[in-house]
Chains A and B, each alone.
Chain A
Amino acid sequence: MDGLKKYLGLAALGLSMFGSALAYAQEKPASLGIGVFSFTSGATAAYGMPGRNAAELMIEQINAAGGIGGVPLKATYVDEGQGTEGVIADFRKLAGDAENQVMIAALSSGNCMALAPLVDQLKIPTVGWNCDTHQLFASEAHPYYFRPNGNTVPEFMAYALYMLSVKPDAKRIAIINPDYAFGHDAANIFKAALKAFKPDAEIVAELFPKLGAATFQTEISRLTAARPDVIFSNLWGGDLENFVRQAAPRGLFSMSQAVLALGESSLQNVQIPEGVIVGVLGDGWWNSPDAAANEETQKFAAAYKEKFGSYPVFPSMKMANSFLFIKKAYETALEKNGGKWPSRDEVAEAMKGSVVETFTGTTTVREDNDGVVDQIIGTTVKVEGFDFPVLGNMVRYSGEALMPPVGEDPIEWIGKLPADFPASLPQPGSYK
């Protein structure tokens, strides 16, 4: 009899625990776990840390305002500097924990490509906060992967168009990009745009030093020997800073028009001279005319400066905008659920086709989950109030105008654009 009582007691306890678990699943969690992936070590941390810093600040600010739907955010940060294998292992571990409902991954295009099959398999809504390669959605659909920050096609077409506007007579072009998907994609898009709009341009040197190369001295000699009118580069992070430190004293920037596609992210770290074409791979300059007019953006930038001692750079803004994107998705899903906490699937559903007002503009998610954002490009200029050059002679190209239709090969699409396409776009200096 005692044994039966004991058995019934245990059964009752088990049932009550199961009931509690069911009830818990329908209630708001104690916190909303987010995995945040960025480079926080090595030379690439020069680019990745501002992103991580922005994540930290956004979480602080969102939590101070009551969290999302009353639930505070709780981040787990992952260093992409450990290599792709480690990134995949950490992603799998974090996604396997039910506390983590959404991922912000990753910075590197290579890591995003490696994570995409995992995102599909684990069905966790994931925001590619910085990865740019257009290949991510080119051949396969990834229903849980979203990239509100845009892709390489509009980004690097924009540079070619801007360069041709300010240097219409440039014929000899040199390229120095990192030796992986991002560098090669950018070179192909830049060359395709040149072929379409400046067919007599000649590529006189095309170099792909490995990511993380410590020295570029021979590459600088090679570029100098090629006597290019324009040098295009999408080096980034410590590589970009090393390149600028080594190239500037050797007169490379006074000899040729430099286009440093990711230059804005290094303006506060290294002395990029005036007159260099730089941009933000999207619309994420914290002090663009639109951002300057946005009170929330300026509050964020001031808080960032206060906390980290420097102004936010475009990786910071991409990360901050990714949080706004997630916040909007949760708010939409909560509203649709009548206030009930949404599942991962419901959050992913809310992200599909969303249009989000960010700190720096608007991001529109297409049917392939790629984001459409405007492209801001400018030329470095010194202005009062800043002890480093900022963007001047700016243009803001519409993201939609530079984005190939879903499913279309980008290189073929660029080749089919009419010769007068550049004339139909706004001109440098028009964005002020």
Chain B
Amino acid sequence: MLQVLIPLTVDALANAAIIFFVAVGLTLVFSVLRVLNVAHGSFYSIGAYAAASLGLWVVSAGLPEWLTFPALVLSAAFVAAIFGPFVEHLLIRWTYGKSEALQILVTFGLFLILEDLQRIVFGVNSLYEDTPMRLLGSTMIGGIVYLNYQLLLIALAILTLVGLKLMISHTRMGKLIAAVVADREISQALGINTNRIFMLAFTLGVFLAALGGALATPTTGVSPGLGADTMVLAFAVAAIGGLGRIEGAAVAAIIVALARVLAIYYAPELDAVAPYLVMLVVLLVRPYGLFHTDTTRRI
């Protein structure tokens, strides 16, 4: 029993880690801006392309290989700094308070533009940069060899979850975000610069998506179409957890990952649909997601 349980758990957590980064960014943006950002997956793939490109440059320039680790985070920060304020200010801001249909159409348009932009900038062929994965080696768990990099991803996802919760509850910025989420008008009346909060929250969401993409690159190739696949999965996770719920995104990521892992182990033909079957069941029972309540704070 333990022989099966251990690999199932490790695989589910490793899978959940990457999904979590994207889903938590999506849910954060929704909770603060009240915008369902369809283009969120594009930031994941741009982060992945940026990290792979920077990593390849570090290696080709003959720099120490350990620099490929900070390169992952730096790429995500770079993507967030470039796209976050720019996209929020020029595009997303005009959809605040508008209908959901309009918001979805605008962000879908942005998604299409960003997908083409990636093809123009990074080309149409796959990029591979696996130095961080190679440097960390592997570990045997329950009779199965796992990459230490996979374990690092689990640790980073937990750190990010804890960090976000601490940021929301213990920092001035977090409290301002919470206030805006709780009541936008009253926050404005109290003198909070809500536009600045929106921009910061959106940029943080972009950073989390780009970080997910960047952290995924050492174990996978980066090619066109990556963003769309990730986006659909992130939506499922955010919906299961309850849009706007950070801890919901974490638990939902684990549930979805576990569903996928169980499918691969015991019913491979259900692999592709497993996350959506889970979403269907959850939404039938709890239409606003597992962690939604009418009274709790929405972040």
Contact = CB atoms under 8 A, between A and B. Distances in A.
Interface in A372-409: none
A357 interface: no
Given A214-B229, A218-B264, A242 B221 contact: yes
A246 B126 contact: no
B221 A250 contact: no
A250 B10 CA distance: 14
Contact of B223 (A42, A210, A251): A42
A40 interface: yes
A222 B269 contact: no
Interface string A208-232: 1110101101110110110000000
Contact of B125 (A49, A208, A224, A250): A49
A224 B144 contact: yes
Most buried by B among A42, A221, A242: A221
A81 B11 CA distance: 31
A46 B125 contact: yes
A241 interface: yes
A206 B268 contact: yes
Contact of A42 (B150, B224, B272): B224
B265 A222 contact: yes
A221 B119 contact: no
A224 B145 contact: yes
A246 B220 contact: yes
A409 to B, nearest CB: 24
B83 interface: no
How extensive is the interface on chain A, given as a class?
Answer: 20 to 34
Interface string A198-214: 00000001111110101
A213 B216 CA distance: 13
B62 to A, nearest CB: 20
Nearest to A224: B144
Contacts of B271: 207-210
Contacts of A206: 268
B268 A242 contact: no
Given A45-B124, A46-B126, A249-B134, A215 B220 contact: yes
A242 B271 CA distance: 18
Interface in B181-228: 216, 219-221, 223-226
A41 B119 CA distance: 9
B145 A242 contact: no
A210 B264 CA distance: 12
A43 interface: yes
Nearest to B222: A214
Contacts, number: 101
A380 to B, nearest CB: 20
Contact of A221 (B126, B144, B272): B144
B272 A179 contact: yes
A49 B124 CA distance: 11
Given A218-B11, A225-B7, A250-B138, A42 B219 contact: no
B101 to A, nearest CB: 26
A307 interface: no
Contacts of B4: 225
A245 interface: yes
A225 B143 contact: yes
A238 interface: yes
Given A218-B261, A242-B220, A43 B145 contact: no
Contact of B219 (A46, A205, A215): A215
Contacts of A42: 124, 126, 223-225
Contacts of B272: 179, 210
B125 A221 contact: no
A41 B268 contact: no
Given A224-B145, A249-B147, A251-B145, A43 B138 contact: no
B130 interface: yes
Contacts of A40: 124
B15 interface: yes
Nearest to A246: B219
A56 to B, nearest CB: 16
Nearest to A40: B124
B150 A208 contact: no
Interface string B1-33: 001100100110011000000000000000000
Contact of A251 (B119, B138, B229, B268): B138
Given A221-B11, A222-B265, A249-B133, A215 B126 contact: no
Contacts of B245: none
A217 B16 CA distance: 12
Contacts of B261: 218
Contacts of A250: 138, 144-147
Interface in A31-51: 40-43, 45-46, 49
Instruction: Please provide the 3 A-B residue pairs with the shortest distance between their CB atoms, ordered closest to farther.
Output: A41-B124, A43-B223, A250-B145
Given A249-B133, A249-B145, 10 more contacts: A41-B224, A43-B221, A49-B125, A179-B272, A206-B268, A215-B216, A217-B14, A241-B128, A245-B219, A246-B220
17 contacts: A40-B124, A42-B126, A45-B125, A45-B126, A207-B271, A208-B269, A212-B229, A214-B229, A217-B15, A217-B150, A222-B265, A224-B145, A225-B7, A225-B143, A225-B144, A238-B126, A249-B134
Interface of B: 3-4, 7, 10-11, 14-15, 119, 124-126, 128, 130, 133-134, 137-138, 143-147, 150, 216, 219-221, 223-226, 229, 260-261, 264-265, 268-269, 271-272
